[in-house]
């Protein structure tokens, strides 16, 4: 090496990234840390910034024997190459750029989209491995960092091993999370040889969540935002799903939207204003996404204390039958209940009477038993259910079953499982759709998105904005887990 080459201080501080670990050739970044979350044939994986990243093997340094230090990173910009290796510059001096294994074999794992077409036949949750949401793993790691109780930490660690849904709740989040997780599922499939099911929540309708304030969306109930919903959201989702077609995907479609059309059109002006966009949005997405053979869609039907009454279920049958037919030739597999709610699967302490406002379906099991018959009577051909069991393991402290915001007494419920109840062939799965620990809404009365329900007596306080991490609620949920963690 020629020591006479002049170096400026500015040049010595320059650095640009180049491929430094196995993950970059698979379309993922390299980790800055070294905590291993998952290992496959490609190498060791971590989670940073809500995404999978590759952990490079410890590099070797060859320049020390020549009297020069090693560069601090194998990403360092190459300033000079000779027979010894590649040289960089740090702190105004030459340094050797470390070399070493790029992590794992070079013959496995490739996230180049496969031409293989997966076709769902029957229950999409059956006979597959569930994808682990890397963003939630990172959230739980952050929660663990705030804990000192070893038994609680052990419970939290177990939470990282269960699958939950990935919410595409804004156009930006969809762009960030959809393709990267489809790639993650395909890479996991190529490493394990198993079919990997990923569950996404489609959640960005114009005028979203018209009867609540805490979870209002970015798109308003107008023609311009409906056009954006179609072109910038649904069409992009369609494109990615068509590209990554070798693995099964479940879509949980627009929680709360159609249930609001059943009960709140007359009482809530915002819901009346949103009706057109809810109907057109559903018709469009069913036509676009319901024809993909590797995709199964479930429309949201609220919960037992929303549509459980006889008249509500009868009206719901008509509304949902109309919506599904409007999306032809697209198909809908079924429906999802109790999303982001707390209603127990079974509650033998409740029956039709004054305490339940004469609701004949005071728990989710009785609700699905009843509404499955109503929907079939309404002419709906495919009537199957996914029940959200993420937060209904313990009966919460709410004084009215309509309470929905950050309820105290929460406990994580039944683990994600296909065909979990004998004799209920129409129940495809228990699954964690709402991730435990993510807030339902802020308790700050001065906040623009404050909803009165989040200030009620049985709502845990202080609570952050919807979707933000709520440590106290998470800790209570894992303490009260049923079955125990």
What tokens were used for 289?
Answer: 């996404």
Nearest to 336 by CA among 390, 409, 271: 390
| Separation CA 233–CA 217 (nearest Å) | 13
Tokens representing 156? 């939290």
Asked if residues 371 and 318 have their Cβ atoms less than 8 Å apart, the reply is no
How many Cα atoms within 13 Å fall on the side-chain side of residue 253? 30
User: Quick one: which H or E segment has residue 296?
Assistant: strand 295-300
What Rg, from alpha-carbon coordinates, does the chain have?
25
At residue 217's C-alpha, the angle toward residues 214 and 218, to 5°, is: 135
Q: Which residue has the tokens 């068509």?
A: 242
Sign of CA dihedral 160, 161, 165, 166: positive
What are the residue numbers of the active site? 209, 256, 440
The rounded distance, in Å, linking the Cα atoms of 431 and 125 is 9
Longest Cα–Cα distance of the chain, Å, equals 92
Question: In this structure, what token pair is assigned to residue 154?
Answer: 């052990």
Cα atoms in the 13 Å half-sphere on the side-chain side of 52: 31
Spatial separation of the C-alpha atoms in residues 217 and 209, rounded to whole Å? 7
Q: Which two tokens stand for residue 193?
A: 């040889």
**Residues with Cβ < 8 Å from 322, sequence gap 6 or more?**
none
What's the CA gap between 270 and 456, in Å, rounded?
Answer: 22
Nearest of 322, 300, 192 to residue 250 by alpha carbon: 300
Strand-strand pairing, 417-418 and 51-55 = unpaired
């Amino acid at each position: 090496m020629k020591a006479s080459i002049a170096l400026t201080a500015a040049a010595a501080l320059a650095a640009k990234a180049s491929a430094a670990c196995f993950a970059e050739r698979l379309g993922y970044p390299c980790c800055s840390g070294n905590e291993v979350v998952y290992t496959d044939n490609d190498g060791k994986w971590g989670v940073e910034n809500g995404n999978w990243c590759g952990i490079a093997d410890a590099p070797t340094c060859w320049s020390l024997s020549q009297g020069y230090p090693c560069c601090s990173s194998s990403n360092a910009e190459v300033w000079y190459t000779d027979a010894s290796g590649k040289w960089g510059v740090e702190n105004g001096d030459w340094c050797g750029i470390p070399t070493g294994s790029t992590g794992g074999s070079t013959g496995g794992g490739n996230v180049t989209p496969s031409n293989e077409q997966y076709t769902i036949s029957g229950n999409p949750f059956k006979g597959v491995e569930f994808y682990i949401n890397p963003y939630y793993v990172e959230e739980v790691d952050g929660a663990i960092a705030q804990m000192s109780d070893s038994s609680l930490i052990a419970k939290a660690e177990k939470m990282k091993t269960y699958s939950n849904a990935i919410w595409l709740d804004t156009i930006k989040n969809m762009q960030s999370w959809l393709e990267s997780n489809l790639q993650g599922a395909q890479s996991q499939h190529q490493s394990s040889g198993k079919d990997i099911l990923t569950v996404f929540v489609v959640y960005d309708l114009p005028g979203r969540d018209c009867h609540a304030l805490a979870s209002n969306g970015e798109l308003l109930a107008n023609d311009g935002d409906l056009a954006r919903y179609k072109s910038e959201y649904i069409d992009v989702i369609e494109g990615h799903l068509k590209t990554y077609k070798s693995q099964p995907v479940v879509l949980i479609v627009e929680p709360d939207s159609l249930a609001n059309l059943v009960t709140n059109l007359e009482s809530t002006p915002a819901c009346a204003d949103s009706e057109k966009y809810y109907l057109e949005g559903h018709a469009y997405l069913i036509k676009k996404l319901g024809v993909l053979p590797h995709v199964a869609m479930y429309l949201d039907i609220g919960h037992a204390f929303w549509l459980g009454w006889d008249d509500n279920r009868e009206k719901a049958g008509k509304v949902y039958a109309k919506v599904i037919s409007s999306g032809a030739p697209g198909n809908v597999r079924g429906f999802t209940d109790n999303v982001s709610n707390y209603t127990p699967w079974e509650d033998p302490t409740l029956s039709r009477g004054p305490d339940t406002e004469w609701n004949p379906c005071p728990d989710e099991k009785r609700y699905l038993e009843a509404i499955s018959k109503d929907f079939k009577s309404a002419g709906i051909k495919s009537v199957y259910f996914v029940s959200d069991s993420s937060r209904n393991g313990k009966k919460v402290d709410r004084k009215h079953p309509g309470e929905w915001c950050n309820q105290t007494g929460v406990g994580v419920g039944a683990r994600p499982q296909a065909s979990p109840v004998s004799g209920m062939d129409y129940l495809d799965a228990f699954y964690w759709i709402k991730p435990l620990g993510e807030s339902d809404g802020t308790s700050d009365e001065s906040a623009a998105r404050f909803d009165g329900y989040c200030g009620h007596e049985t709502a845990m306080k202080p609570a952050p904005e919807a979707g933000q991490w709520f440590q106290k609620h998470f800790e209570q949920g894992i303490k009260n887990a049923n079955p125990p963690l």
